[in-house]
Structure formats: structure tokens, C-alpha cells
């Protein structure tokens, strides 16, 4: 969202206090945030709060003169034309009614009428107001006109009642913002399958063989693909990470389940990013009951299915996925081992990292990787956040998709 200009329309609901956190989050990820508050919103949170969090003036009055940098001296028109996205949060029943019926009696409602950019509404109201037929009719009218909606969620209201109408949390709103803004990205109409996390192979009902993969790099890749407009299927091993907004998640446990899910999901995929740490071995047999502690225990292990090789074999017949990306977690001979895997698995790109290096590999927020593809050789990235690594990988994917000889 670096450099994107988001107008945040804040209306008068109790959930306004959460929008301060949203404004802060959007600013931290690089967006320029202009806040427009209705008079009712200022009774819950002072405009100074948003000014301090965004570093920009807050607009509260239709007659307020705009600051420099807008394309016109008329506030609602200037803000509408400058914005790349209009987010209305919380979107009260009253504001939704104005939007649906073309009323322009304050700065925010006139700005909505003038806007040319995508609009995301985040409803927040008591359950009865949300369920009211008039509100539902307004929502359907706005959806038909192209307005995007995020929420509401089910939960406890300020009134003490429980039901649908609670505003979704700021982190989830950010996810919806990223999805809407990425809809016209360079991967629009592209199906990307991402695998993430570890696999587990049972020894008995309470023990298993696994690895310390957290899934963070794979989930970051899914988010980066969504940011570029891709339709994303996320095949995830056991992990507690939240699903990126816009991703279709398929949960698996074993290597065999991973293989089955990947083969099914990639049947029409353009890109497969195999970031999961799939176990190489599984017990030859699984004990039906918990193995009791009594002396030494020996396990006989057999190979698990090779997911990448299976996908590569099918690709030779179907040309799907168009682009096959593997990952190599190594502890020695990083480039040589990765190049050997690139060739053996018939990959278009491999992402290699030394899991013994400080700040890289499993269960950390950062990673240092080397990208090796079949076109432009080797590129070693510096130590970066896993989200930044994901962005760099997706950039390479976009470049490879644009090439003529992906599998040549």
C-alpha cells in the first residue's frame, strides 16, 4: 500500500474508537490516509486523535477549505478525485441509507457521490438495525452499484445484545482493504496455489513426526499474491495463523493429504508456490493405541509422497500449473543443493534459504533467501521481513509469467 491515498470516512458509531487503530495500521504500511469525520463521529473520538495518528489534517465540515495537494479547492471533490480507495468505517445504518439513496447533506456523503475510486463499507450497528429490511435493501442496492462490504461480524454489541452487526476488527479491515486495492493488480485473473506450514505423520494417537515450520512465509506469499489481484488457494498444514482475507484455505495434516489437495487445487492453476515444509518420511505403520513408555523404541520409516515431482509429472501432460516454484531449506551447500532440486523437480524457480543462519528459516519473522530460476541465474536477497521476501518472490513470478519460455 506504499504511496496509496486512502480516504477514511468515519461515522458516528461506538466502534469509532477502533478506527483509530485502523488509521494507524494503514499509515504504518505506507498509505497516505485522509480522515473525513461526520459530526456524530467527533462526539466519540476527537479529530486531533486521527490527525496525530496520520500526520494529516482531518476533514469534518463541508465548508472546510482543503489543504494543498488536492486537485481542486473544493474539499469533497478534491478528496474524491485524489483517493485510490474510500473506506467508510464504521458504516452506520444512517450513512448506508444516505449512500443508497443519493443524499449529500454532509462532507462524507457528498464525497461518496463524487468519488470515482473503489468504495469499501464496514457496517457497524445493533443487530435489529442490521436485520431491518430497509437496511438490507440499502446494502443490496449498494452492492449492485459496486460497493464492497466487509462484515459485520457476530458478537456482543454496546447495547449488551449479541448478534450480527458488530464491526470486524481493524486487522481484518486491513485485509479487505488489501484485497479491494489489489483487484486490478498484475495477477488479476490468475489462479495462484500456495502451500504453507508443516506436515505431521502420526506415530500413535498422541505422537507425530513433524518440523518447526510456522507457515509464516507461505501465508505472506498468499497475501502478496492477493495484493496483486490473484485468486489464491492456500493449502495449509497445521498452523494457527489467520487466513489472509480473500484466500480459499484448505487444511491438511499429512504429506499424502498435502499431495491430494495440491493436485486438486492446481488442476487449473497458473502458479504453484510450494512453500510448505513437507516431511520426507513417515512411520511404516501407525500404532492404534498410545505406545507405553517401556525401554527403547525403534521406528521404521518410509518415504512420503513427493508432492513437487507428482505435480511436475502431471504438468508435462496438462501444462498446469504454468509456473512451478519450489523451496529448499538447506543447512549446507545452499546453491548447489538448490540448483540440483531445480533441475530434478523441473522447476521454473526455486527459493533457497539456509535454516541455520541467524534470523532466517523457521519460527522467525525474517528470512534471507536466494532466488534461482531457469532464466536469469542467481539473486541473493538481504535479510528481510517475510512479507518483503514474499513481495520479491511475487515480483519474480510476475516476470516469469510474462516470459515466453517458462518450461523451455
Domain end position, chosen among 160, 181, 202: 181
How many structural domains are present in the chain? 2
Q: Do 370 and 307 fall into the same domain?
A: yes
Burial of 193 (0-12, 13-18, 19+ CB in 10 A): buried
Q: Band of the pLDDT at 73, cuts 50, 70, 90?
A: low
Q: Do 94 and 213 fall into the same domain?
A: no
Strand-pair partners of 149:
121
In a domain, 407, yes or no: no
Instruction: Work out the mean pLDDT of the chain and round it to a whole number.
Output: 92
Residue owning grid cell 467527533: 42
pLDDT of residue 65: 65
* Percent of the chain clearing pLDDT 70 (strictly above): 96
What integer is the mean pLDDT of 74-94? Answer: 87
Cell numbers of 276, please? 510448505
Burial of 280 (0-12, 13-18, 19+ CB in 10 A): middle
Beta strands in 304-387 (DSSP E): 323-330, 349-354, 366-367, 370-373, 377-380, 384-385
Task: Kindly tell me if the per-residue pLDDT of 7 is higher than 80.
Answer: yes
Which range of residues forms the domain containing residue 376?
A: 185-402
- Reading phi first (left if > 0) and then psi (alpha if -120 to 50, else beta), residue 393 is in alpha
Q: Band of the pLDDT at 27, cuts 50, 70, 90?
A: very high
pLDDT of residue 374: 84
Q: Do 271 and 390 fall into the same domain?
A: yes
Q: Do 167 and 221 fall into the same domain?
A: no
In a domain, 387, yes or no: yes
pLDDT digits (tens, 9 = 90+) for 182-239: 888 999 999 999 999 999 999 999 999 999 999 999 999 999 999 999 999 999 999 9
Domain end position, chosen among 149, 166, 181: 181
Task: Kindly tell me if the per-residue pLDDT of 363 is higher than 70.
Answer: yes
Taking CA atoms, 14 is separated from 33, 48, 111, 236, in Å, by 21, 18, 23, 36
In a domain, 408, yes or no: no
Task: Kindly tell me if the per-residue pLDDT of 33 is higher than 90.
Answer: yes
pLDDT of residue 74: 57
Q: Assess whether 211 carries a catalytic annotation.
A: yes
283 φ, ψ to 5°? -60, 140
Separation CA 392–CA 400 (nearest Å): 13
Cβ proximity of 383 and 366 under 8 Å: yes
Separation CA 86–CA 79 (nearest Å): 9
Q: Do 264 and 396 fall into the same domain?
A: yes
Q: Do 201 and 315 fall into the same domain?
A: yes
Q: Do 134 and 269 fall into the same domain?
A: no
pLDDT of residue 406: 47
Cell numbers of 394, please? 511475487
Q: Do 130 and 89 fall into the same domain?
A: yes
Task: Kindly tell me if the per-residue pLDDT of 137 is higher than 70.
Answer: yes
The closest of 183, 210, 231, 224 to 276, measured between CA atoms, is 210
In a domain, 12, yes or no: yes
- The helix or strand, by DSSP H or E, that contains position 256, with its residue range, turns out to be helix 255-265
In a domain, 173, yes or no: yes
Q: Do 42 and 159 fall into the same domain?
A: yes
In a domain, 377, yes or no: yes
pLDDT digits (tens, 9 = 90+) for 270-327: 999 999 999 999 999 999 999 998 888 899 999 999 999 999 999 989 989 999 999 9
pLDDT of residue 68: 53
pLDDT of residue 71: 56
Could you tell me the CATH number of the domain that includes residue 36?
A: 3.40.50.1950
What integer is the mean pLDDT of 120-139? Answer: 96
Strand-pair partners of 162:
156
Q: Do 200 and 346 fall into the same domain?
A: yes
Which of these is catalytic: 132, 211, 251, 337?
211
Could you tell me the CATH number of the domain that includes residue 394?
A: 3.40.50.10300
Residue owning grid cell 441509507: 97
pLDDT of residue 407: 42
Q: In this structure, which long-range contacts are made by residues 350-357, counting pairs with CB atoms below 8 Å and at least 24 apart in sequence?
A: 350/325, 350/326, 351/275, 351/325, 351/326, 351/327, 351/393, 352/327, 352/328, 353/327, 353/328, 353/329, 354/330, 355/329, 355/330, 355/331, 356/331
Least confident of 166-180, 209-223, 249-263, 366-380: 366-380
pLDDT of residue 358: 86
Domain end position, chosen among 150, 181, 212: 181
Per the omega criterion (within 30 degrees of 0), is the bond before 90 cis? yes
What integer is the mean pLDDT of 58-81? Answer: 71
The end-to-end CA distance of the chain, in Å, is 35
pLDDT of residue 361: 79
Q: Band of the pLDDT at 62, cuts 50, 70, 90?
A: confident
The closest of 38, 156, 58, 30 to 106, measured between CA atoms, is 38
Alpha-carbon Rg for the chain, nearest whole angstrom, is: 25
Strand-pair partners of 193:
233, 272
Q: Do 212 and 260 fall into the same domain?
A: yes
Q: Do 198 and 170 fall into the same domain?
A: no
pLDDT of residue 408: 42
pLDDT of residue 300: 96
**Residue 66: DSSP 8-state:** P
Task: Kindly tell me if the per-residue pLDDT of 347 is higher than 90.
Answer: yes
Q: What is the pTM of this model?
A: 0.86
In a domain, 326, yes or no: yes
Amino acid at each position: 500500500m506504499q504511496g496509496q491515498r486512502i480516504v477514511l470516512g468515519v461515522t458516528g458509531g461506538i466502534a469509532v474508537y477502533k478506527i483509530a487503530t485502523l488509521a494507524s495500521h494503514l499509515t504504518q504500511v505506507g498509505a497516505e490516509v485522509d480522515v473525513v469525520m461526520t459530526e456524530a463521529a467527533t462526539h466519540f473520538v476527537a479529530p486531533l486523535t486521527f490527525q496525530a495518528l496520520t500526520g494529516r489534517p482531518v476533514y469534518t465540515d463541508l465548508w472546510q477549505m482543503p489543504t494543498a495537494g488536492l486537485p481542486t479547492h473544493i474539499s469533497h471533490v478534491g478528496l474524491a478525485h485524489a483517493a485510490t480507495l474510500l473506506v467508510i468505517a464504521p458504516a452506520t445504518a444512517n450513512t448506508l441509507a444516505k449512500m443508497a439513496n443519493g443524499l449529500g447533506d454532509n462532507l462524507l456523503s457528498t464525497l461518496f457521490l463524487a468519488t470515482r475510486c473503489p468504495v469499501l463499507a464496514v457496517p457497524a450497528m445493533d443487530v435489529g438495525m442490521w436485520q431491518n429490511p430497509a437496511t438490507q435493501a440499502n446494502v443490496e442496492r449498494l452492492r449492485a452499484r459496486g460497493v464492497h462490504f466487509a462484515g459485520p461480524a457476530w458478537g456482543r454489541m454496546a447495547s449488551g445484545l449479541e448478534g450480527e452487526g458488530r464491526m470486524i476488527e481493524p486487522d481484518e479491515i486491513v485485509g479487505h482493504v488489501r484485497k479491494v486495492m489489489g483487484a486490478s493488480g498484475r495477477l488479476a485473473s490468475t489462479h495462484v496455489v500456495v502451500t504453507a506450514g508443516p506436515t505431521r505423520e502420526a506415530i500413535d494417537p498422541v505422537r507425530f513426526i513433524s518440523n518447526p515450520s510456522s507457515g509464516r512465509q507461505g501465508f505472506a506469499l498468499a497475501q502478496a499474491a492477493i495484493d496483486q489481484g490473484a485468486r489464491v488457494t492456500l493449502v495449509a498444514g497445521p498452523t494457527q495463523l489467520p487466513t489472509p482475507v480473500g484466500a480459499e484455505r484448505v487444511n491438511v495434516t499429512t504429506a499424502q493429504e498435502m499431495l491430494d489437495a495440491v493436485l486438486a487445487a492446481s488442476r487449473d492453476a497458473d502458479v504453484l508456490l510450494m512453500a510448505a515444509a513437507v516431511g520426507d518420511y513417515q512411520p511404516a505403520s501407525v500404532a492404534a493405541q498410545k505406545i507405553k513408555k517401556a525401554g527403547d523404541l525403534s521406528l521404521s520409516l518410509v518415504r512420503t509422497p513427493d508432492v513437487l515431482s507428482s505435480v511436475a509429472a502431471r504438468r508435462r501432460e496438462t501444462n498446469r500449473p504454468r509456473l512451478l516454484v519450489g523451496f529448499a531449506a538447506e543447512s549446507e551447500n545452499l546453491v548447489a543443493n538448490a540448483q540440483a532440486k531445480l533441475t530434478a523437480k523441473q522447476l521454473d524457480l526455486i527459493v533457497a534459504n539456509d535454516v541455520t543462519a541467524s534470523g532466517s528459516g523457521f519460527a522467525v519473522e525474517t528470512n534471507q533467501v536466494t532466488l534461482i530460476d531457469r532464466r536469469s541465474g542467481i539473486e541473493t536477497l538481504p535479510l528481510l521481513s517475510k512479507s518483503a521476501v514474499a513481495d520479491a518472490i511475487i515480483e519474480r513470478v510476475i516476470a516469469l509469467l510474462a516470459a515466453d519460455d517458462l518450461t523451455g
